[in-house]
Copies of this chain bind each other. A is one copy, B any other.
């Protein structure tokens, strides 16, 4: 976890129409301006971690505030509701996942679906199980706590993410490496990977490469 224990001395708010003992306007951070979007990002990371470990409902906004050295009401200065914070965590997770996936596919030629699928799987494990990657697991397991509007917005990102799998699976189906229908294959494969969040233990020394090998061996035929 990266949440600061000692907060960077947040400046007291200057209320509307009232005298403040401090200079008006944005306080001139002498040289370093280390807390611009910084506090917001700290809240996001702390929330992602706590939501993942304890669950959304079991985590109070006070917990999150304390994790970054704020007081109980302060998170609402950055996020208008606990829900909005949850949504922001998930959105950031999906953006990172899509970027990681696109990057992974860059090195694989389109006519090598076996290489592509391996990279997709490996990138997915990274997103789920990589150190500090709490954001997507939260999305997978706290989906229900979103309202309809938020869910719809996230669904678009998920469609984008999963869209990358379809042509690869179709190529594998055509070449005989995949026997099950493409759509069901995608659902079952992603399910198998997603479930790893429940049992994978980083400390037990298992490697994401080993996991990827096993998944490849399980899902793909040799021809």
B-side contacts of A54, CB under 8 Å: 144
| Chain A facing B: main interface SS | helix
Residue A222 at the chain B interface, CB threshold 8 Å = yes
Residue A20 at the chain B interface, CB threshold 8 Å = no
Residue A202 at the chain B interface, CB threshold 8 Å = no
A219-B222 contact in complex given A192-B191, A195-B191, C-beta closer than 8 Å:
no
Indicate if the CB atoms of B57 and A184 lie closer than 8 Å.
Answer: no
Q: How far is the CB of A191 from chain B (nearest CB, A)?
A: 3
A185 CB contact (under 8 Å) in B193, B194, B218: B218
Residue A181 at the chain B interface, CB threshold 8 Å = yes
Residue A147 at the chain B interface, CB threshold 8 Å = no
A187-B199 contact in complex given A55-B144, A55-B145, C-beta closer than 8 Å:
yes
Q: How far is the CB of A199 from chain B (nearest CB, A)?
A: 6
Question: How would residues 149 to 188 of chain A score, 1 for a CB under 8 Å from any chain B CB and 0 otherwise?
Answer: 0000000000000000000000000000011110011011
B-side contacts of A187, CB under 8 Å: 195-196, 199
Residue A6 at the chain B interface, CB threshold 8 Å = no
A193-B196 contact in complex given A57-B58, A180-B217, A218-B219, C-beta closer than 8 Å:
no
A218 CB contact (under 8 Å) in B144, B188, B194: B188
Indicate if the CB atoms of A144 and B58 lie closer than 8 Å.
Answer: yes
B-side contacts of A181, CB under 8 Å: 214, 217
